Structure 1
Amino acid sequence: MKRLIPLFAALSLSVAPAFADAHFVKGKVKKLDAEGGKVTLIHEELTSLDMPAMTMVFVLADPAMAGMLSEGAELEFAADRVNGKLTVTELR
């Protein structure tokens, strides 16, 4: 048992970063509506939302996110359903 504890500790350290990034997907800004707080993204599959790759409109969780975006820009983002609306919750 004593030999397994260091093994489990090493495994948890080596896979933790992969899980931290698992909810981010790649996308490209097709259209930006900064005033409306919305963005149209061409995105990869969103496994967390059980959604295939497609182009769709998302609400921005924080209107300030619009300042980080421009049409044609490639990005990584996380999305979730917030109050029934598909919402970009994080950008990088």
Structure 2
Amino acid sequence: MRTSLKAGLVIAALLIPAAAQAVEGEVKKINDTEGKITLKHGPIDNLGMGAMQMVFRVTDPALLGKVKVGDKVDFEADRVNGAITVTKIEKAS
């Protein structure tokens, strides 16, 4: 019984996607019209991505009003409808 419980927990852990994590970054560009933001960022472990600069979609265009180009930020990103998307962002403290 214990072996099957352990096996079930391992399988469940593999099937549940990794939770989004806070990532440090810097705002390089904001495109309000398209709802996109360019961030230079550290590794995003839950997406298996290394540090780089890239363009992200945002879940809510209002997120773009919280930051400006040059701001250091903490953000979370995840796959939303197949696209890598910023789900949360705020100025770093």
% of aligned pairs identical? Answer: 46
SS, match of residue 75 in structure 1? strand
Q: Deviations over 1:65-87 (max 9, x none)?
A: 11112111110000001011110
Unmatched tracts of structure 1, length 5 or more: 1-21
Aligned-residue RMSD, C-alpha = 1.1
Q: 2:21 aligns with which of 6, 23, 37?
A: 23
TM-score by length of 1: 0.74
TM-score by length of 2: 0.73
Number of corresponding residues: 71
Q: Deviations over 1:35-69 (max 9, x none)?
A: 11000000000001000000000001101011112
Correspondence 1:1-92 to 2 at 5 A: 23-92=21-90
Structure whose CA Rg is larger: 1
Runs of 4+ in structure 1 over 3 Å off: none
